[in-house]
Structure 1
């Protein structure tokens, strides 16, 4: 459950969080949490209520930070804890519950564009030895002419300018990525500390933008011509980059552990697992659309696009909004054949090995439903790229009988059965002139066939039913004691 705390409830917050040792000492508080910049952001925009969103590991400092912001900015603050979905995303829903006018997001971020509220990012400053990092880079790439892109976790962005100044003279072909949150599709505004200073003179067709980072390639080069050097710990950010640019060689350096390695993850094996999930999606008759975000811009648009795509492929779809996803929640809906998760890029690649049904991404669902989209080795985790105007948008074929666009059948690689991959226009329901219930007379109605409803009607257990008026009212009595294997009266016997 999402919780918002007023900063005045100090004792309540500390009891809830269950921690007492601060992450940051008072002397480092200003630098770590950028108190002055935060207060300037609030005062310059005239905000009266501000939501401060902390990840779990930084909640211990939330009371001190919120008190400092309230004291200096003369604003009412609310601390957001236990975010609705991933802590990397801005939790606009929780902020709106307390009528906040802006959000200050602390810690790691996926840099997904906000939808409604103005947002300021405070990444923090994880310690890094820049000289050590530069020495590691030179060991991995001894050739000064190497073409390398430097990527990094946002918590190390404060040290990138120093690293750039050390390496630029010896490595003229090294490209440093900058942070740039893309909010062109959303209504929310994004404020610093995003960097945008060194790549402003690039030609538009040479700029690569991905996951809030952007960099400019040398003329005549493509992304595949570069090696990737990532600064940060192993996690979802690195996995996203490796899945997206799966033809590039990756090396990583973790400043926290000083661990250096050439990433040896078997990308082909990982991609084959995802391709298996696509085959499961092609076999599915009933698809569940999981709402995994309420704050990333255009999430409603991709849901509508998925519903239309699934319908045109001859499948049924149902939308589920259930907060944080886990195995027991999804196990309640056995009639669903496959789920598609709409979430930010870092939370899209859900490991569904423990789930009863596979969970795929919007890109994988489109590959399964749209015969015009072929998987040529690229992989897309940002659903905004699939929307009209996106870099990877592919129109769904227009099912027109007059164009002899017949249903195409193929063979399932899992079951070996024949399946239809596309519908004709005559097979699509006319939603504009029909309704779910049709009155036949005063006592009978008929309903359109629903695959999930038929399944629910046919299974033995259909959930708890109150049966009001059918069950007699009786007095409460004391129940049996013990555990089911040996109640207390059974032991006495």
Structure 2
């Protein structure tokens, strides 16, 4: 066969231009259902009406004490994912109303006239850096500057102080639904918006659900739908025991909505003030709740524990539902798991709420006093994959917002149980008692920690006397875990171990001054410095504990080819993935052969 007829074998699959092209994503138009925009209506007019931008602009026009410069110079606008589609329009309209510099399409495309930094001409690094510094100086030295915060660090209902600190903001305006929890230090304001609700269908659904005119019902909704509650009550004047759960502008001003003035004796709970109730929050157990929109799972679980029955109204399809709701009895099981856990991970799911640091310190102190170990984690937005990386953690205690920041694992997706600080306090107490409450307020948790610390002073004196007298104590006794039905001895790794002696076989080689001798010795010990090493115990239970552990069981096997010295170290491939050294050598040899 002639050499010209030879065809090189195919060493790979067929490749064409489509193989190296990026997959195209079909971009579908996202309808702004919250605006209820009709084909003949103006989009900007709806934006002004929905967010009440005139009042927002008037709030930003406030001057400082001297009356010269704006009171808030660096303003951040925080939008949730559902409203981020309006962020550009809101920011641009606020800039126009306030008389700030607005980037137009012409200035963005015409490099010769409008742009300070060229987008079509190549500049040197030195020139581009100078232009960037000049642009940054222009931004920070302007009378007032607006930034948009879209991707929140934690829950979208909370004020994102972490993102606002990146631009040294002195004001944050939060758009959309909000939890209204107290913020630690950054001044903020809220803009709920005014979503459209069919009041007639809402009244019909309410009357169909409660035909009795003397029914005790509390009207409540999320923050954006609160404005409709007063109109709803006017349409239900025949109901004599109707209570409205209204928001209250205590910690920060609310723009676009003016809450009704409340009396000093009115009931305040769940970040709401209840007009018509002057009793304590226990009175809510005698009332049904009619809630507009379906809240998030943590908030819904909190509402089901406070009210007699919860009915949800969906304003999108004008339907009502009464379940299924999160089950509180599963929390009782998690409390028993927390009681038997030896290592507890404190998962911080917020950095902006007030009293966060105090709660962390109080919970950590309680865990240590209970003889357990703890670690503090800040992983951003938690998910199953992130928490699964920490295999040594027996149980998680999450600190977050009561609306969206608390993880309620209804489908058993997480590998380890997740409890709240209040549930952990109940589990760490001497006598396990189930209150059936869902307490997530940091102030209430701090008061519980303070009460328990006062009660434990006498117990600490009693335990100290037992140690001095040498009397017997049940601290080292194994604990029965009702979840697994077994006894566990690792529930208190920080307990006193005066009687526990760690013995190892005498080995003359272990006395050699080897740098790895201490590591090998401690890796086999389950107790260090009179405390149980949970990490060492966890490492011993693993099938693979590091390099060389695969051959550990072959040391005493005479037929195995186990070599204690290990394999010889060889030099690996050099270079990067697109061209290793041996690839370049083969390519050069092939080119010389072809020549």
Q: CA deviation at 1:394?
A: 4.8
Q: CA deviation at 1:380?
A: 1.6
Please give the secondary structure, in 2, of the residue aligned with 1:387: helix
| Cα deviation code 1:281-322 (max 9, x no counterpart) | 111100111110111111111111110111111110000111
| Cα deviation code 1:115-174 (max 9, x no counterpart) | 11111111111110123222222222222222111111112122122112222x312211
Contact in 1 for aligned 2:478/2:487 (Cα 8 Å): yes
Q: CA deviation at 1:331?
A: 1.6
Q: 1:227 and 1:420, CA in 2 relative to 1: closer, same or farther beyond 3 A?
A: farther
Distance in 1 separating the partners of 2:235 and 2:311: 19
Task: Name which of 297, 303, 307 aligns with 1:236.
Answer: 297
Match of 1:272 in 2: 329
The 10-residue stretch of structure 1 (56-65 or 310-319) with the greater mean CA deviation from structure 2: 56-65
Match of 2:50 in 1: 32
Structure with the higher strand share, 1 or 2? 1
Match of 2:574 in 1: 475
Matches within 5 A, 1:5-84: 23=32, 24=35, 25-44=43-62, 46-73=71-98, 74=100, 75-84=144-153
Q: 1:236 and 1:44, CA in 2 relative to 1: closer, same or farther beyond 3 A?
A: farther
Q: 1:397 and 1:451, CA in 2 relative to 1: closer, same or farther beyond 3 A?
A: same
| Cα deviation code 1:369-409 (max 9, x no counterpart) | 1236722222223343211289x965463342437797597
Please give the secondary structure, in 2, of the residue aligned with 1:355: coil
Q: CA deviation at 1:249?
A: 1.3
Match of 2:224 in 1: 155
Match of 1:451 in 2: 534
TM-score, structure 1 length as denominator? 0.77
Q: 1:290 and 1:143, CA in 2 relative to 1: closer, same or farther beyond 3 A?
A: same
Match of 1:290 in 2: 347
Distance in 2 separating the partners of 1:42 and 1:176: 31
Structure 2, unpaired ranges of 5+:
1-26, 36-42, 64-70, 101-143, 467-472, 498-514, 523-527, 548-568, 581-595
Matches within 5 A, 1:8-407: 23=32, 24=35, 25-44=43-62, 46-73=71-98, 74=100, 75-167=144-236, 169-180=237-248, 183=251, 189-192=252-255, 195-200=258-263, 202=265, 207-217=267-277, 222-233=283-294, 235-236=296-297, 239-245=300-306, 248-261=308-321, 263-265=322-324, 270-346=327-403, 347-351=405-409, 353-371=412-430, 374-388=433-447, 394-395=452-453, 397-398=456-457, 399-402=459-462, 407=475
Distance in 2 separating the partners of 1:214 and 1:61: 33
Q: CA deviation at 1:276?
A: 1.4
Q: CA deviation at 1:113?
A: 1.5
Cα-Cα RMSD: 3.7
How many pairs align? 433
Q: 1:116 and 1:50, CA in 2 relative to 1: closer, same or farther beyond 3 A?
A: same
Please give the secondary structure, in 1, of the residue aligned with 2:77: strand
| Cα deviation code 1:14-52 (max 9, x no counterpart) | xxxx88767352111112122122222222261111111
| Cα deviation code 1:435-471 (max 9, x no counterpart) | xxxxxxxx989974542366458854569xxxxxx98
Distance in 2 separating the partners of 1:244 and 1:394: 24
Please give the secondary structure, in 2, of the residue aligned with 1:109: coil
Q: 1:124 and 1:462, CA in 2 relative to 1: closer, same or farther beyond 3 A?
A: farther
| Cα deviation code 1:202-239 (max 9, x no counterpart) | 35xxx141144545526698222111111113533751
Q: 1:127 and 1:336, CA in 2 relative to 1: closer, same or farther beyond 3 A?
A: same
| Cα deviation code 1:81-106 (max 9, x no counterpart) | 21111111111100010111111111
Structure 1, unpaired ranges of 5+:
1-17, 184-188, 429-442, 464-469, 482-493
The 10-residue stretch of structure 1 (34-43 or 145-154) with the greater mean CA deviation from structure 2: 34-43
Matches within 5 A, 1:429-448: 448=529
Please give the secondary structure, in 2, of the residue aligned with 1:380: coil
Contact in 2 for aligned 1:110/1:212 (Cα 8 Å): no
Distance in 2 separating the partners of 1:278 and 1:36: 50
Match of 1:10 in 2: none
Distance in 2 separating the partners of 1:271 and 1:338: 18
| Cα deviation code 1:228-265 (max 9, x no counterpart) | 111113533751343432x611222211111123x143
Q: 1:344 and 1:194, CA in 2 relative to 1: closer, same or farther beyond 3 A?
A: farther
